[in-house]
Amino acid sequence: MDLVIIILKIISILVLAQFIVGPILIFKLQKMPETIKFKLLESDDFLLQRTTTFTVLHEKIISNKFEYIGSSEIIQSNSNMYFSIYNNFESKLACTLSTISSGEQETTQIEFSQMYNDGSIVNVNNNPIFEIYPSNNKKLCFRFPDVNDFEELLNIAMKLHSYSKTDSNKITYPKGKEFSTIESFLTDEQNLLVNIGWVLPEAINNERQLTAKGAMLMAWKLCWPIKLWFNRRDISKSRKALENA
């Protein structure tokens, strides 16, 4: 019995420690650029550096009548994201194929984005990680991490886009201004984080830092067992929306 109590105490200490250490690490390491500006990368070199999974999906997206727009990267202190943008100007549906590299882990995901004339956007993706930032009333997200087939995820996206926004007209990225449109939207999202006290408004060396509040809330959402609840709730919401679509 004494051994069981000791083990339970050790587990409790480890669980509680992540709620203290996590915010400190994120506060020190997580930075955001003062200005979001993407640098277009040379396409052939970019694709040569990607995994087979990425390049196969790249070809599949193009074969489904999406036009390849270009590729770029987001380099952060704790992870790097390499991504390509595609657009189907006929259906007004955009697609992002991205690979996130963090340490030895690397994940590839697909996201379909539908913009509307009221300034809102609906995203459908298979990201394995739930959104850690607070909700945005202009952005509606549905996540299906178990759907790895491109055509299946595309069909889900078409259903949810039609179901979610019946009162607004679809629009798409202006041709030639796809990346600048994304930069503008991401800047609005970052400004929201500043307004709600998650990110400091002042920049140091062209970078913004999280506030103590932002670091704690972000870290706690990723702590066990809380993250299990957030993940389950996020997937359940998406599945329920698809069932009603």
Q: Answer yes or no: is pLDDT of 34 > 80.
A: yes
Q: What are phi and psi of 113, to 5 degrees?
A: -125, 130
End-to-end CA distance of the chain: 53
Q: What is the mean pLDDT of residues 44-56?
A: 94
Q: Answer yes or no: is pLDDT of 108 > 90.
A: yes
Write down the pLDDT at residue 142. Answer: 96
Query: Which two three-digit tokens encode residue 95?
Result: 């697609």
Q: How far apart are CA 224 and CA 91, in angstroms?
A: 41
Q: Answer yes or no: is pLDDT of 167 > 80.
A: no
Q: What is the mean pLDDT of residues 62-91?
A: 91
pLDDT tens profile 187-238: 889 999 999 999 999 988 888 999 999 999 999 999 989 999 999 999 999 9
Q: Answer yes or no: is pLDDT of 29 > 90.
A: no
Segments making up each domain of the chain, as ranges: 33-244
Q: Answer yes or no: is pLDDT of 99 > 90.
A: yes
Residue 30 pLDDT class (50, 70, 90 cuts)? confident
Considering the chain, what is the average pLDDT of its residues? 90
pLDDT tens profile 135-149: 888 899 999 999 999
DSSP-assigned states of every residue in the chain: -HHHHHHHHHHHHHHHHHHHHHHHHHHHH-EEESS--PPPBPHHHHHHTS-HHHHHHHHHHHHTTPEEEEEEEEE-SS-EEEEEEEEETTTTEEEEEEEEEETTEEEEEEEEEEEETTS-EEEEE--SS---SPPBTTEEEEE-TT---HHHHHHHHHHHHHHH-SSS-EE-PPTT-HHHHHHHHHHHHHHHHHHTTSEEEEEETTEEEE-HHHHHHHHHHTSTTHHHHHHHHHHHHHHHHHHH-
Residue among 15, 178, 152 at smallest CA distance from 93? 178
Q: Answer yes or no: is pLDDT of 15 > 80.
A: no
Write down the pLDDT at residue 209. Answer: 92
Q: What are phi and psi of 92, to 5 degrees?
A: 65, 30
Write down the pLDDT at residue 65. Answer: 94
Write down the pLDDT at residue 4. Answer: 67
Q: What is the mean pLDDT of residues 71-98?
A: 90
Write down the pLDDT at residue 88. Answer: 95
Q: Answer yes or no: is pLDDT of 71 > 90.
A: yes
Write down the pLDDT at residue 144. Answer: 97
pTM of this structure: 0.90
Q: How far apart are CA 218 and CA 43, in angstroms?
A: 34
Under a CB-based contact definition with an 8 Å cutoff, are residues 153 and 112 in contact? yes
